[in-house]
Amino acid sequence: MKTSNNNKEEFALILIDVQQKIINPIKNHEIIVSNIELLLRSYEILRENIFLSEQNPIKLGQTLKNLSPNKEFIKIEKMRFSIAFENNIIHSLPTKNIKNLIICGFESHICIQQSVLDFLQEGYQVFVIADAIGSRNINDHNISLDRMRSKGATITTTESIIFELCETSSRKEFKLISNLIKNKKYK
């Protein structure tokens, strides 16, 4: 992954369906939410281009308050499981020259998997953050990771992608990132 600021290909962080009614039945959702929050706050320090989706927000509620971006972001309310063909995504990604997508949220085997497979088919490089996604059933989660990997997604972890985006400890933002990681709620 080439992340240098001189790189012409931009990144986007996509938070998929981080809504209370979706995450409640997911085992260890506190750890996953903590990883999503760490990823989001670190990404806000290092990069631009944040997208957030909500699946059927009338029935499933809004995004968790602690997972709402503090920086400018694009919110997408959807009924389709995949976010890949929603208007705000279709138009924004090419306009901003975004080629690399970092994906986290819920559920691994439904909205995450369908979005990832669609983005891969459209030619994007997709980074699935394995410890920042989850499903109600661990078997569904694991099989979806295998399937996404087999189709070309890069499976990684929260800290790994954060340090890849940061690139060097000499970067001025590194101290902020390091403090976020040290002070993470769930480890």
pLDDT tens per residue, range 51-85: 999 999 999 999 999 999 999 999 999 999 999 99
- Do 62 and 19 meet the contact criterion of CB atoms below 8 Å apart? yes
| Phi and psi torsions of 26, nearest 5° | -85, 125
% pLDDT > 90, the chain? 87
Q: Which residue has the higher pLDDT, 183 or 162?
A: 162
- Whole-structure pTM value: 0.93
Fold of 10-182: Rossmann fold (3.40.50)
- Helices 29-46 & 174-182 angle (0-180, nearest 10): 170
Compute the mean pLDDT over every residue in the chain, rounded to the nearest whole number: 93
- What are the b/e assignments for 126-141, b being 16+ CB within 10 Å? bbbbbbbbbbbeeebb
Domain boundaries, the chain: 10-182
- Do 162 and 181 meet the contact criterion of CB atoms below 8 Å apart? yes
The reported pLDDT for the residue numbered 183 is: 84
Q: Which residue has the higher pLDDT, 72 or 1?
A: 72
Q: What is the mean pLDDT of residues 1-29?
A: 81
